[in-house]
Amino acid sequence: MDAYVVIAEVAVVPERLAEFITHSLNDGRDSVANEPGCRQFDVDVAADGAPTVVFYEVYDNRAAFDAHLQTPHFFHWRDATQGWITTSRISHLYRQH
């Protein structure tokens, strides 16, 4: 196992999409900059204009992801965007080489 990967696809309340993306990009930048176990944190949006956001996150291991869930920037993101996600699908994977 080379890395622990999290892919989350979320639908967001349309009128909050721009704010949601801003908060998510900030969380991603803080994660990569301040978490030694966070290798990558991408925030992607649906090409068709749907209010869908996909997070692609790569961590050294599950412990690094669990540590991410306890950071101040994650708590800020969670609190700021509470109630804006209408549906979500989250996959937890191990990268194989």
Mean pLDDT of the chain: 97
Q: Is the pLDDT of residue 1 over 80?
A: no
61 falls in which pLDDT band (50, 70, 90)? very high
- Domain containing residue 49: 3-95
Chain centroid to CA 60: how far? 15
SS (H, E, C) the chain: CCEEEEEEEEEECHHHHHHHHHHHHHHHHHHHHHCCCEEEEEEEECCCCCCEEEEEEEECCHHHHHHHCCCHHHHHHHHHCCCCEEEEEEEEEEECC
What are the backbone dihedrals phi and psi of residue 51, each rounded to the nearest 5 degrees, phi first?
A: -80, 60
The predicted model gives 66-70 an average pLDDT of 98
Q: How many domains does the chain have?
A: 1
pLDDT 10s digits, 9-55: 999 999 999 999 999 999 999 999 999 999 999 999 999 999 999 99
- Residue 75 belongs to a domain with what CATH number? 3.30.70.100
